[in-house]
Each structure stands twice: as structure tokens, then as C-alpha cells.
Structure 1
């Protein structure tokens, strides 16, 4: 049975989608079969692998308009597939509010294909709304990208533990934190190093919660999505690519 991982952080712009697509692509490059699920109405994960937001995707699946098997798209990376998002998903938050068992909609949608993939990676919106809740419920593990900036740190630890604990106590007892990954690290700034030091100090008794790999700021990482390919297909030799390759190996080892 495949392992499902949700990438989540209540703050936007922390490298969540970049981490999901590049970890997924490198895991696929290691010979695993990977399904990306774009569960963010912005559809950035979809565009990161060259898919537009005009085709049927996860919204049509969760509203019973399409079967998930029929909307899975093969990407340019061998072994990497995606269920896209489109603008219709932005209305799902309202549509799901009064729906019975609304937090289990995504989990049910993925059940028929979970055995077909080694990994399913879910990218959620930068919020703790009903879509992200669905991502938590559908997953075995959560990976939390953390930008090396002060405002990214504010409220982060409270969000991480309180949210995951609440999910574990209510709707998904098996959910585990796979780890926190530092992103957008700039070794030239004191702030980046202070954020890492503070988080490491906070988790001094549980150092295993932090991934060893730190993702640096890298212009090639920001360029790759505009070309519709993961970083390994855009510039496999850049420092950002090498970092995500190491992170992907860590993820495989942990989950």
C-alpha cells in the first residue's frame, strides 16, 4: 500500500509547493511510482509540472463528476503522475461546509488508487481550512516546510503540534510528523541562522523531527516552475537540485 504525505503550513510563500513537486520528482527518479495531488485552488503544483488549470482534476473527483483514475495525468518525469487542481476548487470550501463527513472526502477519493502508487504527495492551501483538514485526514505523514524567516516562525510550533494532535485524537490516529524542512536558507544572513538555531533549540529533545537537509535560496528553483518542469529536469546540477535530491532520499528513508 502506498504511503501518503501531506505538505502543509498555514503560511504561504514558504516553499511548500516547490518542496512537494521536487521531492516527488526525485522520489520518482529513484524508481518509485509517485502521484502528486494538487489540493490548492491556486494550482501551483499543477503548473509546476506543465499542467494548466482548464482540465478536469481533483475538484471533479471530490464532487463525484469524474473518477480519479480518469483524471490522472502523466508528467515529463518518468514515474511521476498528477491529479491537477483548477479554479473550481476555490468553491469547494463553501460546498463542503455542510456536507456530511466532509473531512473524509479526499481520503475516500484516493482509496481506489492508493495501492497503485508507492507515494502519494498532497499539496494543500496555506491555511488550516477544510481543504487542508482533508489533506491531514487522507495522509499517513505530514511534512512541514519552514522558511528561514522570523514571520514564518511566528505561531508555527503551536500550529504544528496543536493541529496534528487534534487530528490524531479525532479523525486520523495514524497521522505522524515526518519532519520539518528548512527552506529558502541564506547562509549570508544572521536571521536564517537564528531561525534554525531557535527551532533546533525548541526540538532539542526530539531532534529527529528536523530533516538534516536544508534547502537554500536558489534562483534556478524559482525559475523551474515557469518552464513547467521539476528542478531535476530543468537544472539537475544546481545547488537547489542537489539539496532536494538529498531531501528526497531522507523522505524515502523516513517513510
Structure 2
């Protein structure tokens, strides 16, 4: 049975897409098969694989069209985003099952997804209907945190509150149990060395029980998305064994947390 992990955040620019892209590469290197789902209408993850399109996309899951998995290589598949995804918030408001349409699609396509070990989902930085659909199908939600007052304290508080409201609202009326089973994990991202904010951030994150890994600020992550190349394949990473070791260790910690 696949494990589904959604990468989500209350604000943009925290490295969510970069993390999804490179964690997928890490999993493939460990021998796993990965399905990516891009639910951000900006389509950055899809563009990284040159698959941002209007044809057979995630949009079709919600509109009765024909969504297709694009098999990018033997270990990697993708359901790409569509620029029309931003229209769904208004389109789906009248549907009683609006937060569970992705769940139903996956249930109806078990044969197509059964061979994937992990499903990784990138989301738009908000907590709307589309993101709720992705969280509803997830085993884990990974939330990147940054070492700044807004990026850490306020973002975490906002996400925790919205997640609680979603859990409380989405209940089975017969059992009163929440239909949202995803466990929330936090990952400290873009942590800089020897700065006041990072030292303070380090003290605060020590108090978070569900913090799973720390990724330091490194130029190779920016190069990775710009060059559309996993960080592990970049020459600048290969030339620095210490950097490669630290990145591998962080992703290994994340993997151990979602097995």
C-alpha cells in the first residue's frame, strides 16, 4: 500500500516544491517507485518535468475529465497541474463531497497506483478546497518552517489551527471519528549558520515533538530547481562530500518518519 505525503505551508517561498522534487529523487535512489501529484496551479513541479499542460491533468479529477499519470521513467510518475486549478475553489463550493473528490478518484484507480511505494503531493500555499483534498488522502503532511518570526511562529500557528478545524469538521456522522488521519510533521528548512535568527530558531524547534529533520540553507537547492536537476546530480554537490552527506542524512530522517 502506498504511503501518501503532502507538502503544505501557509505561506509561499518556503521551499516546498524544491523539497518535493528532491525528496522524490532521494526515494528513487533508494529503489522506491514514486508518484508525484502537482496540485499547485502555478505548476512549478510540473514545469520542472516539462509537463505543465491543459491535457489530462489533475484538473480533470475534479471536473469529470480524463486525468492521466505520465510515466516519466520506470520509477517516477506524475499527475501534472493545470493553470485552471485556481478555478476549482469556486466551482466545487456547491458539492457536498468537495473535500474528498481526490480520495474517490484514487479509490477508483487503485490498479493504476498500486505499484507506487510513495505518493508525494505539492500544494499551493493556502488551505483551500484543493489542498484539503490532498490532505484528506494523506498519511503525512510535511510542513516546512523557516527561521524567521513570520516563517516559523505565525505559519505554524496558522497551519495547526486550520488543520484542527479541518479534522473537527470532517467527521463520520455515524462514529464521530475524523476522516482526516494525516499526521503533521515539521521540517526546518533554509537554516543558516551563525545568525541570530537561526540560533533562536534552533532553540524553538527543540520544543517541537514532530520536527523530523533540518535542512540548512545551501545554494545547491536553488540551482536544483533552476537547472531542473536533483540536488544529488549537481556537480557542485558532488564536489562537496560533506554537503551531500548532510542532505542525505536529512532526507533519511524524513524517510524514517514516513515509513
Q: TM-score range by the shorter chain?
A: 0.7 to 0.9
Question: Structure 2 residue aligned with 1:195, among 201, 205, 228?
Answer: 201
- Is residue 138 of structure 1 aligned with residue 133 of structure 2? no
Classify the secondary structure of the residue corresponding to 2:60: helix
Q: Deviations over 1:123-177 (max 9, x none)?
A: 1110111111111111111111112222212422322332333333343342212
Stretch of structure 1 that moved more, 143-152 or 110-119 = 110-119
- Match in the other structure for 1:253: 256
SS in 2 for 1:5: strand
Which ranges in structure 2 are unaligned for 5 or more consecutive residues?
171-178
Contact between 2:62 and 2:101, CA under 8 Å: does it hold in 1? Answer: yes
Does residue 176 (structure 1) correspond to residue 156 (structure 2)? The answer is: no
Superposition TM-score, scaled by structure 1 size: 0.86
Structure 1 match to 2:176: none
Task: Please tell me the root mean square deviation across aligned C-alpha atoms, in Å.
Answer: 2.1
More divergent stretch after superposition (95-104 vs 192-201): 192-201
TM-score normalised by structure 2 residue count? 0.85
- Partner Cα separation in structure 1 for residue 247 and residue 40 of structure 2: 22
**Would you say the 8 A contact 1:27–1:249 is kept in 2?**
no
SS in 2 for 1:191: helix
**In structure 1, the residue corresponding to 2:134 is in which secondary structure?**
helix
The number of equivalent residue pairs is 244
Following superposition, the deviation at residue 43 of structure 1 comes to 0.5
Report if aligned partners of 1:2, 1:115 keep a CA contact under 8 Å in 2. yes
Q: Considering only CA atoms, is the larger Rg found in Structure 1 or Structure 2?
A: 2
Higher relative contact order (CA 8 A, sep 6+): 1
* 1:15 equivalent in alignment to 2:18: no
Pair 1:97 & 2:93 matched: yes
**Cα distance in structure 1, aligned partners of 2:246 and 2:49:** 19
2:23 and 2:81 map into 1 onto residues whose CA distance is 19
